Chains A and B, each alone.
Chain A
């Protein structure tokens, strides 16, 4: 058989009906990669490069300096209070929305999204208008010697406001999709409300919950706008990490600013790594829960 007869009978290479042309595929992938490199990877590298410009010891010195440590502490306090409270709220809201029908349900869903659509500056400002010296509750708070604005409570409140939707938004579609069949089955088998929640509801949503918590935490630690309005920028007292970075930057202390920034970026990277590791480690279990 010659080569000529071979080509005559050769069939086109089999391809899936939905497959795109290889050139188109390569082009799309390259575009995506280019944008990720330009907008995500490059800035991240810059942060670390700037921080380490004058060596590791200079960067470390900027982090262990008292004002910086106070900012780290403040950030951890804000996230440490806001995240658990948002978990409780997110669980309650998504439970109510996905498992029950009640009046005002669609209104509640819209309301949960409010922090996403409102500018963070406004989120901070409403608390100043409510609890500030000139605000609605201002005189009463002053009489009772309670300080909310320019103090920790204000920062926690503002952080909570902007992170409100994260857990609920993650859980509502998940729980609606799962319906109430399994809970009903558990009840008919004699489980109490608490047992049903602990043994059936929670295991089914734990991955969504974890994901929501991680996102919520990342945002809580990184929030700038809303916290900036209520904090008052008192160095060593009411500055969180993002605020401290801004202060340093405005003082032309670029290396210090980038050193603290890389610590914040590191926290984000740890978050992502933990998430990826958990997803990889429990891949089988996740598949079992999501498949019907």
Chain B
């Protein structure tokens, strides 16, 4: 197992965002973190990216202590929901950023950087748009620039926070397949946050379903469809199958509704 998360916990003020989450995923896996808003999926992703700190727990990645590395040394390509492109830089400058901030010894020569930028532009099918500014692009194009920028640093792990959340349904569907295609081409371990069960089930090798800071179930889409572990999971993925009696975990909302 390449990515091992062990009882990671985090609170915001007094409200627990993650209540000791554990799971593992093989190398090169495409993992989706699926859950409603407030389930802790984004917090978990941000902890993996080093943008948020866990209060307890450990994360191992490729046999190293992942949480001990500061964010800038993790080489985790992070793609934000609102793109977070550098708005004062051209598309090409955005993509080159991760290479240009490297120390002199590790920085590729200028020609090499622009060659890599061209390569990435064509990978994300934006050939010839390098000189544009982010404000001159559509939402779908911006998100592809964000992905190219994350890929430029040759990331060890790719982290995507609801990357298609702000896009319309048609563009979403197109980009979804295209993202899977890029993942298969690069083989980078990818963690993808979404609240759209269709997106998660269609895209991922492994889906972890989160609810109120805990993982309700983790498994392949087929496994989850076949046997949802709780009423919550069955409900969330719109499954006609109800969990069998011995599997049932009490579902807090249903309990609350009865009072």
Chain A interface (Cβ < 8 Å from any Cβ of B): 181-182, 184-192, 195, 199-200, 203-204, 285, 287-289, 291-292
Contacts and interface: CB of A to CB of B under 8 A. Distances in A.
Nearest to A185: B84
Interface in B172-223: none
B217 to A, nearest CB: 29
Contacts of B123: none
Interface of B: 49-51, 71-78, 80, 82, 84-88, 97-98, 101-102, 133-135, 149-150, 152-153
Closest 6 CB pairs of A and B: A181-B84, A189-B98, A188-B78, A291-B135, A191-B101, A185-B84
Given A184-B80, A199-B101, A189 B153 contact: yes
B88 A190 contact: no
A278 to B, nearest CB: 15
Contacts of A181: 80, 82, 84
Contacts of A203: 86, 88
16 contacts: A182-B85, A185-B84, A186-B97, A187-B50, A187-B51, A187-B72, A188-B50, A188-B78, A190-B72, A191-B98, A191-B101, A200-B86, A204-B87, A291-B87, A291-B135, A292-B135
B87 A185 contact: no
Q: Max chain B CB contacts within 10 Å: which of A186, A189, A192? A: A189
Nearest to A183: B84
A185 B86 contact: yes
Contacts of A182: 84-87
Given A200-B86, A291-B135, A188 B77 contact: yes
A218 B173 CA distance: 55
A171 to B, nearest CB: 16
Contact of B101 (A195, A204, A287): A195
Contact of B49 (A188, A200, A204): A188
B81 to A, nearest CB: 9
Contacts of B85: 182, 185
Given A184-B51, A195-B101, A287-B135, A190 B84 contact: no
A187 B153 CA distance: 12
B102 to A, nearest CB: 6
B153 A190 contact: yes
Nearest to B106: A190
A204 B97 contact: no
A280 to B, nearest CB: 18
A203 B94 CA distance: 14
B47 to A, nearest CB: 13
A287 B135 CA distance: 9
A184 B84 contact: yes
A203 B133 CA distance: 14
A292 B77 CA distance: 22
A122 B85 CA distance: 46
A199 B135 contact: no
Nearest to B136: A288
Q: Max chain B CB contacts within 10 Å: which of A188, A192, A200, A289? A: A188
A187 B70 CA distance: 9
A192 B78 contact: no
B67 to A, nearest CB: 15
Nearest to B100: A199
A191 B49 CA distance: 14
Contacts of A289: 87-88
B18 to A, nearest CB: 19
Contacts of A185: 78, 80, 84-86, 149
A264 B49 CA distance: 54
A188 B71 contact: yes
Given A185-B78, A189-B98, A285 B84 contact: no
A5 to B, nearest CB: 49
A291 B85 CA distance: 12
Contacts of B88: 203-204, 285, 288-289
A290 to B, nearest CB: 8
A192 B101 contact: yes
Contacts of B152: 189
A285 B152 CA distance: 25
B101 A188 contact: no
Contact of A190 (B51, B98, B133): B98
A212 B70 CA distance: 34
Q: Max chain A CB contacts within 10 Å: which of B73, B85, B101, B135? A: B101
